[in-house]
Amino acid sequence: MATFPSSSSGFAFILLFLMTLLSSLIVSHQQPLLDSTEQDSVYEVLSSINSAIPWRTLFPDDLCLSAPHGIVCDYFFEQPNYVSSTLPQTAHVTELNFGYVSDYTPNPPCSPNSTLNSLLFTSFKYLRKLFFYKCFTETTVVVPNVSSSSFGANLEELVFVENPTLVGSLSGIIGNFTNLRRLVLTGNGVSGNIPDRIGDLVNIEEITLSRNHLTGNVPFSLSKLKKLRILDLSQNHFDGNVPESIGNLSQILKLDLSFNGFFGKIPYSLVNLQILEFLDLSFNRFGNFGVPLFLGEMPRLKEMYFSGNLLGGHIPEIWEKLGGISGIGFSDMGLVGKIPPSMGVYLRNLCYLRLDNNKLEGEVPEELWFLEFVNEINLENNNLSGRIPLSATFTAKVDEKFKLQGNSGLCIDEGFGSSKNEGSLEKLKLCNKSDIPNPVLFKEYNSVSSLSSVQVLSSPHGLITLGFYFLLLWYVQR
């Protein structure tokens, strides 16, 4: 037994020695791993990004052994030859990242006159990722038409972020992308329609096209993308109806169509998106059909935004299964009627609620004042009324988290709206002395059980039930 550790450490030593030998063999490999044409193409591309930096002088060696951050190679064993298969036979560039992001991602910095070198689309057959961050910001650069080239056969990620002077057509930049997983073009000047060929990107998981100048509608073929998890078309000029086929995107987690010109009815098929967490349809022209009731059947939703669409109608009672909701945007939707108390009862995780600029009336349900995780509740510019149920401890919280202006019927008790208030409570009128406050409202309740007892006491139905209960008690005791 005593020899076992020493023999095992001897074995480890031999292993270490072999590994050192192996790695020294790799380093002393006579031939450069990256072939000279591909190496030259990298220098060409780097100097079209930033010609002020002497790339060849700074990185004279094989770029697969020593390259600027952002230039990434991978080793390939091209012939299945078992003798030499322990050593890589060749290397190719697999990632090109341009634009200094941070000290942790110090990609080659772009310059005001960076251009998009055409070698990018012809010289790197093994490219898996192409990334540009803030590279085209002053000089207009046109995206090439690679739609019928072989560019992108191995591409998995194509990312252009914040390049406002990058212009050209979206359909031209979508190549032979059967392996593409992420298409991220955000904050550029790309225009045109989403081509029907988008349906060929069978492995795509993310399509983010936000903040470009895109037009047209959502093509039917998009709904063929069975692996899609993120679809973000926000802040473009899309229009038309959103096709019912969007409900076929069954793996989708985030759907953002905000700030476009979509109109008509919100498709009922959205209810099929059962794992959807984030839905933003705000600031379009969806109209007149009310807040969709099917939202109540989408229990994984965390955020829903419909602001700026004239949906009209009452806020429906759909909240029972939506306890995971943290954000709701219902501003400026032409909503009428009362705020349903069930929102406060079921939405225990609510952080953010906007109901401002509607025509809501009646009292603010007392449950809403006491939600635990609230960051902002905006009820401005409605016709809400009644006394704000403040106790001294809650005054500060309400003052900072609730926006209440523009509701002429809301009032606050004298004493709570004291001089130190500079927030939303300051401009509210004082309640008439004759308004006898409901003592229940001054209770500071946190638990659900005390909440429900408050509900019983404050609803007429609850009082009748209570009365009936006492009657029964009296009858039984007789």
Ligand X SMILES: *[C@@H]1O[C@H](CO)[C@@H](O)[C@H](O)[C@H]1NC(C)=O
Nearer to ligand X, 149 or 459 (CB): 149
Nearer to ligand X, 101 or 142 (CB): 142
* Closest separation in Å from C-beta 469 to ligand X: 33
* Closest separation in Å from C-beta 417 to ligand X: 16
Nearer to ligand X, 315 or 451 (CB): 315
Nearer to ligand X, 129 or 259 (CB): 129
Contacting positions for ligand X (CB under 6 A): 48, 51, 111, 113, 145, 147-148, 150, 153, 169, 171-172, 176, 178, 223-224, 244-245, 247-248, 269, 359, 361, 383, 385, 409, 432, 435
Nearer to ligand X, 359 or 397 (CB): 359
> Token pair 């219902």 is at which residue?
330
| Residue type at position 55 | W
Confirm if 379 and 405 have CB atoms less than 8 A apart. Answer: no
Give every strand in the sheet of 429-430, ordered side by side: 336-337, 359-363, 383-387, 409-412, 429-430
Nearer to ligand X, 33 or 155 (CB): 155
* Closest separation in Å from C-beta 323 to ligand X: 29
What is each CA distance from 37 to 42, 62, 125, 152, in whole angstroms?
9, 12, 12, 19
Nearer to ligand X, 349 or 383 (CB): 383
Query: Phi first, then psi: what are they for 395, rounded to 5°?
Result: -55, -45
For 3, residues 6+ apart whose C-beta sits below 8 A from its C-beta are none
Nearer to ligand X, 172 or 324 (CB): 172
* Closest separation in Å from C-beta 151 to ligand X: 8
Q: What DSSP character marks residue 452?
A: H
* Closest separation in Å from C-beta 170 to ligand X: 8
How many Cα atoms sit within 13 Å of 15 on the Cβ side? 6
- Compute the distance between CA of residue 256 and CA of residue 246 in angstroms, rounded to an integer: 12
- Compute the distance between CA of residue 42 and CA of residue 98 in angstroms, rounded to an integer: 12
Sign of CA dihedral 281, 287, 291, 293: negative
206, two tokens: 């993310």
* Closest separation in Å from C-beta 199 to ligand X: 10
* Closest separation in Å from C-beta 157 to ligand X: 16
Confirm if 179 and 154 have CB atoms less than 8 A apart. Answer: yes
- Compute the distance between CA of residue 219 and CA of residue 203 in angstroms, rounded to an integer: 17
- Compute the distance between CA of residue 423 and CA of residue 390 in angstroms, rounded to an integer: 14
* Closest separation in Å from C-beta 423 to ligand X: 24
Nearer to ligand X, 217 or 269 (CB): 269
User: Which of helix, strand or coil describes residue 58?
Assistant: helix
Strands 90-98 and 71-76: antiparallel
Q: What DSSP character marks residue 279?
A: E
* Closest separation in Å from C-beta 341 to ligand X: 17
